[in-house]
Amino acid sequence: MTLEGTYSLWRQDDNGVIALVARYPDRHSADRARLEYDATGHKQLYWVTADDETEDRPADR
């Protein structure tokens, strides 16, 4: 199932566990949330994917 026009915020923790954090209606909102999470200083990696971009799924990373 694709969610065209939506964006997902993903997290990978320091143990390598990947999890969906949230979905957003636009790229700007998703990027803003990513920056807020990055600013917390935790050892986690955050990234945003477009939900209609199957080639950029976290499982493919």
Work out the pLDDT band at 1, boundaries 50, 70, 90: very low
Q: Are 30 and 48 in contact (CB under 8 A)?
A: yes
- Closest alpha carbon to 12 in 60, 49, 46: 46
- Give the residue carrying structure tokens 């199957």: 54
The one-character DSSP state at 27 is H
Domain ranges of the chain: 6-20+36-54
Structure token digits, residue 22: 């949230």
User: What would the pLDDT profile of 3-58 be if each residue is shown by its tens digit?
Assistant: 568 999 999 998 999 999 999 999 999 999 999 999 988 889 999 999 986 545 55
